[in-house]
Structure 1
Amino acid sequence: MIRQAALLFRARGYAATGFREIVEQAGTHRGVIYHHFPRGKTELAEEVVRLVDGAVGPAIEAVCSNQDPVSAMRAILAGVKMIMTGGEHPPGCAVAAVALGAGPDDAELLTAASDVFRRWQDSYRECLLRNGIPDPDATDLATLLIAGLEGALVLCRTEGTTEPLDRVAAGLERALR
């Protein structure tokens, strides 16, 4: 259910995805989802954010821990491109979908998404610092990487191509040099 919810959030957005669709995609019964997620869709979304972070976060950390900033940035964007082109699902990030779809009463969801994006930024920031980029430049560039990545995913979806990821990589490389 969590994996199917992540795919649906990524494809349709958090706000536009209902339990009924998740249940259908997961091939289970509606009562099962309420049993596992008694706090409803918010609890399910928190688990989706954890799932995505558990898959993406360690990969970003590993790449950033043993590569220079340009190579790490290129590896991160190449990984995203590989995921995007490796399936039938439209480009997008389930964490961003949750953040964008969360309402004013969803402070826990916004905090969960913020924490994930901060961890991803921190991994790249540490790479930058280790390679001689001082703060606050390292913090700004790490933010630019994650914001550029997420923005590129939106452009990839609207343009129907992965070229925005390439343009973000080229722009970030110029900024790093």
Structure 2
Amino acid sequence: MARETRRQMIEQAALLFRGRGYGATGIREIATSAGAHRGVIYHHFPRGKTEVAEEVLAATDATVGAYIESWCTAQQPLSAMRAIIAGTKMIMTGGEHPPGCPVAAITIGAGPDDQALRESARAIFDRWQRAFRDCLRRNGTPDPQATNIATLLIAGIEGALVLCRAEGDNAPLDRVAAALEPLLPHPN
């Protein structure tokens, strides 16, 4: 039961960070959203919201990073990019919560004393870019172009998530995919 409560708090924190932002989300709100007594959160996360954020970063990367690596390893760049965009729609725009990425929310909301959170977020974004860059390289795209396109994919997705929220639909992600498509090697 304790593990389930902890997992629920991490999941709810990710959704709250994604929807409200890291800075605007309080520790009590996380506990309430998870259906837990507010005192329980400090039992599971003695260092408070920073520790929750560390767990959200790790959980998001474990899921999203694993998908990106899997798609980039098993597919050509064009189909990998399409899978990444489709996965983004499913994971980061689904449900009743507004579109967003918890990694971006933590990065933006982290204060001056949260350097470790920003470093963790940077490592996550690097991992996601590296997977796509390596896919491009394996399929003949030289550097620095492969690195630039991989950065463009991740930055485009993160920016598109903001536009998805503003526009109220997933069309910005589709536009990012359409813009990237001509830059990618196409299978013969």
TM-score of the two chains, using structure 2 as the length reference: 0.91
User: The residue matched to 2:25 in structure 1 has which SS?
Assistant: coil
1:118 counterpart = 2:126 = yes
Q: Identity across aligned pairs (percent)? A: 68
Pick the aligned partner of 2:165 from 133, 136, 157: 157
| 1:37-116 mapped onto 2 (5 Å cutoff) | 37-84=45-92, 86-116=94-124
User: The residue matched to 1:16 in structure 2 has which SS?
Assistant: coil
In 2, the alpha carbon distance for the partners of 1:20 and 1:85 equals 24
Q: Cα deviations across residues 4-48 of structure 1 (Å, max 9, x unaligned)?
A: 100100010000000111011011112211111111111110000
Q: Find the counterpart in structure 2 of residue 169 from structure 1.
A: 177
Tell me the matched-pair count. Answer: 177
Structure 2 stretches lacking a partner, 5+ long: 1-8
Q: Find the counterpart in structure 2 of residue 36 from structure 1.
A: 44
In 1, the alpha carbon distance for the partners of 2:74 and 2:35 equals 41
In 1, the alpha carbon distance for the partners of 2:130 and 2:147 equals 8
Distance 1:104 1:161, change over 3 A: same
C-alpha contact 2:92 2:101 (8 A) present in aligned 1:
no
Distance 1:166 1:65, change over 3 A: same
1:137 counterpart = 2:145 = yes
In 1, the alpha carbon distance for the partners of 2:133 and 2:180 equals 14
Report the CA distance between 1:86 and its aligned residue. 3.5
Report the CA distance between 1:84 and its aligned residue. 4.5
User: The residue matched to 2:87 in structure 1 has which SS?
Assistant: helix
Q: Find the counterpart in structure 2 of residue 25 from structure 1.
A: 33
Q: Cα deviations across residues 100-120 of structure 1 (Å, max 9, x unaligned)?
A: 000111000001111111100
Q: Cα deviations across residues 105-151 of structure 1 (Å, max 9, x unaligned)?
A: 10000011111111000110110000000111111111110000000
TM-score of the two chains, using structure 1 as the length reference: 0.97
User: The residue matched to 2:70 in structure 1 has which SS?
Assistant: helix
In 2, the alpha carbon distance for the partners of 1:37 and 1:84 equals 25
In 1, the alpha carbon distance for the partners of 2:184 and 2:11 equals 35
